[in-house]
Amino acid sequence: MLAAAWPPMPTTLLIFIAFLPLFYLLEQGPSRFAFVAWSFLAMLIWNSITTWWIWNSTDVGAIGAILANSAFMSLPWLALYNIHQRLGAKFSYWAFLACWMTFEYIHLNWELSWPWLTLGNVFANTPNWIQWYEFTGTSGGSLWVLLINILIIQQIRNTVQFRKFLNRRLALCLAAGIGLPILISYLVKATSLPILTTDQQSGKNIVVVQPNIDPYAKFFPGTQEQQLQQLISLSESAIDSQTALVVWPETAINSPNGIDEARLKQNSSLNPIWAFLSKHPTIRLVSGIEAYGLLPEDTKSPYARPIPGSNLNYEAYNAAALLDSSGIISRYHKSKLVPGVETLPSFLRFMDQWFEQFGGTTGGYAKQEERTVLVDQNSGLAIAPAICYESIYGDFMSGFFRNKANLMVIITNDGWWGNTAGHKQHLAYARLRAIETRRWVVRSANTGISAFIDPFGTIVQQQGWDTAAAIRQEIIPMDKQTLFVRFGDWISWIMIVLAILLVSWSSILFLIRRKTAKTTS
Does one domain contain both 166 and 293?
Answer: no
329 pLDDT above the threshold of 80:
yes
Does one domain contain both 49 and 147?
Answer: yes
Q: Running DSSP on this structure, what letter comes out for residue 310?
A: S
Q: What pLDDT score was predicted for residue 521?
A: 64
Is 276 exposed, middle or buried (CB count within 10 Å of its CB: 0-12, 13-18, 19+)?
Answer: buried
Q: How many domains does the chain have?
A: 2
- Domain of 433, CATH number, reads 3.60.110.10
Does one domain contain both 259 and 159?
Answer: no
pLDDT class of 390 with cuts at 50, 70, 90: very high
Does one domain contain both 468 and 508?
Answer: no
Residues 66-82, mean pLDDT to the nearest whole number? 95
Q: What pLDDT score was predicted for residue 162?
A: 52
Does one domain contain both 214 and 239?
Answer: yes
Is there a contact between 165 and 171 (Cβ–Cβ < 8 Å)? no
Does one domain contain both 186 and 318?
Answer: no
360 pLDDT above the threshold of 60:
no
Does one domain contain both 448 and 498?
Answer: no
pLDDT tens, position by position, 394-453: 999 999 999 999 999 999 999 988 999 999 999 999 999 999 999 999 999 999 899 999
Strand order across the 451-453 sheet: 374-376, 381-387, 407-412, 441-445, 451-453, 459-460
Does one domain contain both 419 and 509?
Answer: no
**CA within 13 Å, CB half, 60:** 9
What is the pTM (predicted TM-score) of this model?
Answer: 0.92
Is there a contact between 116 and 166 (Cβ–Cβ < 8 Å)? no
pLDDT class of 86 with cuts at 50, 70, 90: confident
pLDDT class of 197 with cuts at 50, 70, 90: low
Amino acid at 430: A
pLDDT tens, position by position, 263-314: 999 999 999 999 999 999 999 999 999 999 999 877 778 888 888 878 888 9
Does one domain contain both 126 and 202?
Answer: no
Q: Which domain holds residue 84?
A: 2-194+489-520
Q: pLDDT averaged over the chain? A: 90
Is there a contact between 219 and 262 (Cβ–Cβ < 8 Å)? no
Does one domain contain both 209 and 351?
Answer: yes
Q: What pLDDT score was predicted for residue 342?
A: 73
Within 8 A by CB and 6+ apart from 62, the residues are 51, 52, 54, 55
Does one domain contain both 190 and 330?
Answer: no
345 pLDDT above the threshold of 70:
no
Does one domain contain both 21 and 107?
Answer: yes
pLDDT class of 258 with cuts at 50, 70, 90: confident
- One-character DSSP codes across 75-119: HHHHHHHHHHHHH-HHHHHHHHHHHHHHHHHHHHHSTT--GGG-G
